[in-house]
Amino acid sequence: MQHRQAEAGARYDVFHTDCPARDVVDHVTSRWGVWVLISLRSNDLRFYELRESIQGISEKMLAQTLRALVQDGLVWREVEPTTPPQVTYGLTEFGRDVGEPLTELFDRITRRLSPRP
């Protein structure tokens, strides 16, 4: 599903099971979707850089999460035709817009946590 602007005044019925916005919310709030968006907030990253920045994610889960976020129009993907191919990911305007409150939430939580021993 690609991100589409709703007509002025038109809104999705997010409580309806067929609402396409639900899929996007599911992908963003998945276990790894949030971390991908937060990791890409400052820099475009290659696949291996993303994998290293998100501790605990497997290559398979990162690939699946990125595929869903690219399909939703939150993340762009660029492949450089080298051997092996170098793939870079970054946030689209839509991804930055969605990721901003997630980053703010993350920052608020980390400011409130007690220092680690």
Segment 90-115, tens digit of pLDDT: 999 999 999 998 888 888 888 888 77
Tens digit of pLDDT for each residue in 49-88? 999 999 999 999 999 999 999 999 999 999 999 998 999 9
Q: In the predicted model, is pLDDT for residue 1 greater than 60?
A: no
Sign for the pseudo-dihedral over CA of 47, 45, 24, 2: negative
The whole-model pTM stands at: 0.79
Rounded to 10°, the helix 59-71/20-28 angle is 140
**69 HSE (CA, 13 A, CB side):** 32
Number of neighbouring beta carbons within 10 Å of residue 15: 7
pLDDT at position 2: 45
Question: pLDDT tens for residues 10-43?
Answer: 677 777 888 878 888 878 878 899 999 999 999 9
pLDDT of residue 10: 61
Tokens of 100: 């901003």
Q: Give the Cα separation of 30 and 95 in Å (integer).
A: 15
pLDDT of residue 23: 82
